[in-house]
Amino acid sequence: MGDIRPGPPQLRPGRALAHTTGASGSGSLHRSDSRPPQTPRGGRQPDLIGRPGTTPPVPGRPAFLILLLGIPALLFALITWQVVEDGPLLRVDERVSRALVHPDRVSAGLSDLGNAEVAIPVLAVALLWSAWQARRAGTDRWWLPSTAAAVLMALVPALVVPLKELIDRPGTAVSSGTGYYPSGHTATAAVAYGAATLLVLPWLRSTRTRRALVIGYGLLILGVSFGLVRRGWHWPLDVVGSWCLCTVLLLGLWLFLARHSRR
């Protein structure tokens, strides 16, 4: 029989104190000697918010990015297919349009926010301000984010105009002619104001201000889209198709800017 003594068990000399603070040569709650850790985790540096782990890219990120970009791209392809093939989704589109079309001054004013004469000057101001802030902060390649946003804006007509001519969708009862899908006004507003938002966000210190800017951008695009449909200048699917296309473009810009900021 072993020792049977009342009271808690006693520590014996020579035993490893793996979980005892102050063990010989330890200095750690998890090691019984002073040997360096055998796994690379012990040598990792904490990330920007103090959590130990790997630096980007992390496992699973490619799948997440594919999903992030793939969903709006797939929706755009589906809507385009329905428009080209005169699918059943167009019957719903026509009913929604008839219920919403009611031209007035408010809808005209909202839709005008999607004009290039209004949206592009706003983006130009954001381009210059962001570049000035980055240069003043001594950022490496300070001109790159603004240049990328300008190139993205130039891609909008290069993508939308050929699609309009190729699909050649007729207008609503209020409008005339063809070439309405996808909506150019929606695409111009979404990319111009969206790129401006992405450029300005990193230089805003207040979380409340950043949140307000993002919410304001979303409300602005919804307002432009509603004005275009309410005015009768576009079918609802014209607008939704532009949302999907521009989501892919803006996500690409966001990923590029995030990678540039990490570097």
At 139 the pLDDT is 83
pLDDT tens digit sequence for 170-211: 999 888 889 999 999 999 999 999 999 999 999 999 999 999
CB 126 within 8 A of CB 200: yes
What span, in angstroms and rounded, lies between the C-alpha atoms of 107 and 109? Answer: 5
What span, in angstroms and rounded, lies between the C-alpha atoms of 121 and 192? Answer: 9
CB 110 within 8 A of CB 226: yes
SS3 content of the chain, % helix, strand, coil (to 5): 65, 0, 35
> Sorting pLDDT into bands at 50, 70 and 90, what band is 49?
very low
pLDDT tens digit sequence for 106-122: 999 999 999 999 999 99
Q: Which residues contact 139 (CB under 8 A, 6 or more apart)?
A: none
Helical axes 236-262 vs 144-167, angle rounded to 10°: 160
What span, in angstroms and rounded, lies between the C-alpha atoms of 181 and 89? Answer: 14
pLDDT tens digit sequence for 13-33: 544 444 444 444 444 444 444
pLDDT tens digit sequence for 150-177: 999 999 999 999 999 999 999 998 888 8
The radius of gyration of the chain's CA atoms, rounded to the nearest angstrom, is: 29
* Residue 56 confidence (pLDDT) above 80: no
At 138 the pLDDT is 84
> Sorting pLDDT into bands at 50, 70 and 90, what band is 137?
confident
